[in-house]
Structure 1
Amino acid sequence: MSDDPASSSPSPFDAMLCFDVYAANLAFGRVYKPLLDPLGLTYPQFLVMLSLWMADGQSVGRIGETLGLDSSTLTPLIKRLEGASLVTRLRDTRDERRVLVSLTPQGAALKSEADRVLTCVTRNTGLESETARQLREQLRQLRRALQQPLKG
């Protein structure tokens, strides 16, 4: 037993849901990094690619809505993906304010690797599929609640 009084008192982090979410996010990052490094992708870039693998040729705005990112965050990510020859960006001919993002053949070819990454990460959570589904729904409820105006 430790004589350090700090070790015997409860941690303020024990009651902080936000800390557990933050710590889980960091743990996910540690799982994803060695899987995504060989693909040359960061986790946010991987999310953009997942969005495009679901529906190619999306506008930057649509991708941003899907991922909850604004264009000032998303545009540099997409430019790096373009620099890696994974996507192309073109102005929409019907509305030049919109930029459409499409997969290149090289970007489309990464999808099979992405499926492997997702399977590996899912396996590493240690959660049964129903438990994972329930947790996802609870986290979505939490996110929706936190997106509401602040209740002073």
Structure 2
Amino acid sequence: MTPKLDKVDYSILAKIQNNAKITNLQLAETIGLSPASTLERVKRLETQGIIKSYHARLNRYKLALHVHFWLQVCLHNLTHESIQSFKQDIEQIPEVIACYQVTGETDFLLSVLSTDLISYQGILSSKLSEIKVIKSIRTMTVLSTLKETGIPIIPPHHSHSRS
């Protein structure tokens, strides 16, 4: 069941997603509520699981992670056991920063960061190729990032009836 949120809740979510280090006082001032009411709303959003956690957004280039790849992965078969085995193996590879099960010509889409092509080749040959349930991998190299944001914070539209 989707929790009922109002405009203030959406405003809180947008502000926190943009700056997780915002103080409760700063947040209260920007949304026009008292600090106590603001804190109560944030706690409710956390309890409802809408705010899952707080993170620092790191600059991958400053950490020498200069190349980003998207991998299309197909498994030999999509049994529950194969998927669980694949999931467990992928969780052990820190360079795989995201993994999505998808529909279409491929089974999974992986986002992988690496320092350079030689390092990626090592990940491919010594880590990914060792995963027995994988049938094939197609690699795409990201040339540039045109847009990268958090999730859209869009209040639902309410239908207006005419009198």
- Using the size of structure 2 for normalisation, the TM-score is 0.32
Greater RCO between the two (CA within 8 Å, min separation 6)?
Answer: 2
